[in-house]
């Protein structure tokens, strides 16, 4: 931890954007999240990993209230997530989310996918929203497909559109839930490249991913979850070379040798 | 001889004639097994015995539109003189004879509205305005009493305009109501959900006829003395209630087919509930629900003929009443055939249009 803080000092502002305190969640009887404490600073890049079913998705989905937590507090961008719908909508427009299965809107063109929320949520004029959308589509290198429908694109292209769609809302934080695990191997790199570019531009990111190369090269901090707990968090350097808990060691040996 | 081996592609050949062409088609589709061959022969025999006499009756030995009933009764085929004589009664019912240009114009307005609305380029907010204007014009034409038109009681309305009013207005009002019911049924507010489920299940559990009876017989009992609600209006309301429940179920089917990820993506972008539904969920759900919705539209269009039991004479009812004229009694085949063809034209157009719409929507956003 001290190392992480040390490394972070010269990159990060020290301004906190997400704070989870004692967050617990149950699915019926099943205790999915146990006393999660997490603080994320502006500009920080965090990779979350852990075995299947450990609660990674659940945790990051709580951050924009796609899932509801039952105990503890989550404060995002100064707003506490409660049942207050207005607050939830306020948080959601500042937090972009990229899903494993892209979840593009199949009845809208790529461009319309990107302009929908800016027009309806941010109340931007259509022309301005389209300008912004084209800028981000260029950035994910897919501008020439702007007038196609999602169904006409490859998986990697769709995921890049999904990233652009989120960016069009100029979010303060981006959440990624296994953005590359539904992709064919040859398409993983094009998506990771976009994510690396984002990280370099200083976007605050939380990524659930099994791409350890990505974690090593861009993460400020790696969080390891198991059975609903945060077991360990550290800089990638010490996380991969010097894991402290047995569970982490076991997990690393499994994913690195498979 | 060169060193490199040059690969010469084989030329394309025409397929042998036993797999394409009309003979192959016949063999593959009509005579591919011995029992299909027998069925084919039987069906051909049946057609050969039934079709020619029908054609003869319909055209060859038929009497023309100006035939009198005496000529028809003397023998021969179909008596189109009946239609010639009763055409205006069947189409317009008991609407005053000299004013029948008004229901005619009503029919024209309805068809123009329907055909115009088929073009997806016109699916803009102003289309609603066009409909409002069109329906107001229909109301003025039918009721009269303004612009120097003689007032006509709606008990005198009948025939095709009545069918169109009941079904088109019924569907136009029931459709948004059905959307609300379907959304309500899937709402996570328990009170809303229970209300919608109860309504849908109650209405679906009773026959339309009994709903119409209730509207005409029981409903007035609940009203204070001296207040009376128009019979046509009561029937219209009964139809709307009925159609809304059925369409709600069709739409719910569409809603269920939308993956959870679509809701999550919309939520994740910060869309409100209504933005999410109107922009993301409903456009996809309604496209999926087209076949069952059109099914409801078609059966509902024909079910309007049930108003005959409460004394309103729509197209079918008027066709039936026309037969009660003593001098034209007995020409029921001509009457029902004529009315049937009109119903069929409307229903078949709906069906064809929905197929086209489904294809268009699919082409633009295939998953
Ligand atoms: N809606 C739900 N109802 C009940 N249990 C659920 C629900 N969603 C998830 N779970 C359970 O909660 C646990 C954590 O799920 P979660 O999806 O957060 O895991 P994960 O770490 O993201 O795993 P994976 O790597 O497979 O995506 C799992 O055991 C899962 O079965
Ligand atoms: Mg997951």
Closest residue to atom 25 of ligand 1, CA basis: A52
Domain span at residue A116 reads 16-256
Identify the three-state secondary structure at position B78: coil
Least confident of A187-191, B113-117, B224-228: B224-228
pLDDT of residue B3: 61
> Quick one: pLDDT band at residue B61, thresholds 50, 70, 90?
confident
Domain span at residue B305 reads 159-361
Residue reference for tokens 């339309």: B208
In a domain, B351, yes or no: yes
Q: Residue B364: pLDDT above 80?
A: no
* Mean pLDDT calculated for residue range A20-42: 93
Query: Please, are residues A57 and A176 in contact by the beta-carbon 8 Å criterion?
Result: no
The number of beta carbons lying within 10 Å of the beta carbon of residue B81 is 22
pTM metric for this prediction: 0.85
Q: Do A97 and B268 touch (CB under 8 A)?
A: yes
Domain count, chain A: 1
> Quick one: pLDDT band at residue A258, thresholds 50, 70, 90?
low
Q: Residue B264: pLDDT above 90?
A: yes
Residues of A with CB under 8 A from a CB of B: 64, 66, 89-90, 92-93, 95-97, 99, 101, 103-108, 116-117, 120-121, 149-152, 162, 165-166, 169
Q: Residue B1: pLDDT above 80?
A: no
Task: Report H helices in chain A.
Answer: 2-9, 56-63, 85-94, 110-120, 126-139, 155-167, 185-200, 212-218, 236-241, 246-256
Q: Residue A10: pLDDT above 60?
A: no
pLDDT of residue A60: 94
In a domain, A181, yes or no: yes
In a domain, A4, yes or no: no
Residue of higher predicted confidence among B311 and A239: A239
In a domain, A214, yes or no: yes
pLDDT of residue A7: 42
* Mean pLDDT calculated for residue range A66-88: 92
Segment holding A174, helix H or strand E: strand A173-177
In a domain, B112, yes or no: no
> Quick one: pLDDT band at residue A196, thresholds 50, 70, 90?
very high
In a domain, B55, yes or no: no
In a domain, A126, yes or no: yes
pLDDT of residue A254: 85
Q: Residue B330: pLDDT above 60?
A: yes
User: Residue A207 and residue A18: Cα distance in Å, rounded?
Assistant: 14
CA nearest neighbour of A199 among A167, A223, A225: A167
In a domain, B146, yes or no: no
Question: What is the share, in percent, of chain B residues with pLDDT greater than 90?
Answer: 34
Closest residue to atom 2 of ligand 1, CA basis: A27
In a domain, B230, yes or no: yes
User: Residue B100 and residue A208: Cα distance in Å, rounded?
Assistant: 73
Mean pLDDT score across all residues of chain A: 90
User: Residue B173 and residue A124: Cα distance in Å, rounded?
Assistant: 33
B110: its two tokens:
């309805």
Domain count, chain B: 1
Q: What CATH number did the domain enclosing B276 receive?
A: 1.10.3720.10
pLDDT of residue A256: 74
Residues from chain A that touch B279, judged by Cβ atoms under 8 A, are 116, 120
Q: Residue A155: pLDDT above 70?
A: yes
In a domain, B128, yes or no: no
Q: What CATH number did the domain enclosing A31 receive?
A: 3.40.50.300
Sign of CA dihedral B307, B348, B164, B245: positive
Q: Mutate which of A26, A58, A206 to test ligand 1's pocket (most atoms within 8 Å of Cβ)?
A: A58
The number of beta carbons lying within 10 Å of the beta carbon of residue B53 is 12
């Amino acid at each position: 931890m001290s190392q992480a803080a040390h490394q972070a000092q010269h990159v990060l502002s020290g301004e906190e954007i997400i704070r989870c305190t004692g967050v617990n969640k149950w699915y019926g009887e099943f205790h999915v999240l146990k006393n999660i404490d997490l603080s994320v600073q502006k500009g920080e890049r965090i990779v979350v990993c852990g075995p299947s079913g450990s609660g990674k998705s659940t945790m990051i989905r709580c951050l924009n209230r796609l899932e509801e937590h039952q105990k503890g507090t989550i404060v995002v961008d100064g707003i506490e997530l409660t049942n207050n719908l207005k607050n939830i909508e306020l948080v959601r427009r500042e937090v972009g989310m990229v899903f494993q299965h892209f979840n593009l809107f199949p009845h809208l063109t790529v461009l319309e996918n990107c302009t929908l929320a800016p027009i309806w949520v941010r109340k931007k004029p259509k022309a301005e929203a389209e300008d912004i959308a084209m800028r981000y589509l260029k950035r994910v290198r897919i501008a020439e497909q702007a007038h196609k429908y999602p169904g006409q694109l490859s998986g990697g292209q769709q995921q890049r559109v999904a990233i652009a769609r989120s960016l069009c809302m100029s979010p303060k934080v981006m959440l990624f839930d296994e953005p590359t695990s539904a992709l064919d191997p040859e398409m993983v790199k094009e998506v990771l490249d976009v994510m690396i570019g984002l990280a370099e531009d200083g976007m605050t990111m939380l990524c659930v991913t099994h791409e350890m190369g990505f974690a090593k090269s861009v993460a400020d901090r790696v969080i390891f979850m198991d059975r609903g707990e945060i077991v360990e968090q550290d800089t990638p350097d010490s996380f991969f070379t010097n894991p402290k808990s047995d569970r982490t060691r076991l997990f690393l040996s499994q994913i690195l040798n498979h | 001889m060169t060193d490199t081996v040059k690969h010469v592609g084989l030329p394309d050949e025409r397929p042998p004639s036993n797999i394409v062409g009309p003979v192959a088609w016949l063999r593959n589709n009509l005579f591919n097994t011995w029992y299909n061959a027998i069925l084919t022969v039987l069906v051909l025999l049946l057609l050969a015995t039934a079709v020619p006499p029908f054609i003869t009756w319909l055209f060859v030995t038929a009497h023309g539109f100006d035939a009198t009933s005496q000529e028809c009764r003397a023998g021969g085929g179909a008596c189109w003189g009946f239609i010639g004589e009763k055409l205006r009664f069947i189409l317009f019912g008991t609407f005053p004879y000299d004013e029948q240009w008004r229901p005619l114009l009503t029919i024209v307005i309805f068809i123009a509205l329907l055909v115009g609305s088929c073009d997806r380029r016109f699916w803009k907010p102003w289309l609603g305005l066009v409909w409002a204007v069109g329906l107001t014009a229909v109301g003025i034409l039918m009721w009269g009493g303004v612009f120097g038109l003689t007032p006509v009681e709606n008990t005198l309305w009948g025939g095709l305009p009545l069918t169109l009013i009941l079904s088109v207005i019924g569907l136009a009002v029931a459709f948004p109501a059905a959307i609300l019911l379907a959304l309500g049924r899937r709402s996570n507010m328990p009170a809303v959900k229970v209300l919608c489920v109860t309504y849908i299940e109650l209405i679906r559990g009773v026959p339309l006829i009994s709903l119409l009876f209730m509207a005409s017989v029981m409903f007035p009992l609940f009203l204070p003395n001296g207040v009376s609600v128009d019979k046509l209006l009561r029937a219209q309301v009964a139809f709307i209630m009925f159609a809304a429940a059925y369409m709600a179920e069709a739409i719910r089917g569409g809603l269920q087919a939308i993956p959870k990820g679509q809701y999550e993506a919309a939520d994740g972008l910060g869309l409100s509930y209504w933005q999410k539904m109107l922009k993301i969920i409903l456009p996809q759900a309604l496209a999926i629900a087209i076949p069952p919705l059109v099914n409801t539209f078609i059966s509902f269009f024909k079910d309007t003929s049930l108003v005959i039991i409460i004394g309103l004479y729509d197209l079918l009812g008027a066709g039936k009443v026309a037969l009660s004229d003593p001098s034209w009694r007995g020409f029921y085949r001509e009457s029902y055939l004529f009315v049937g063809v009109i119903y069929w034209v409307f229903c078949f157009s709906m069906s064809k249009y929905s197929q086209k719409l489904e294809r268009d929507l699919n082409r633009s956003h295939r998953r």
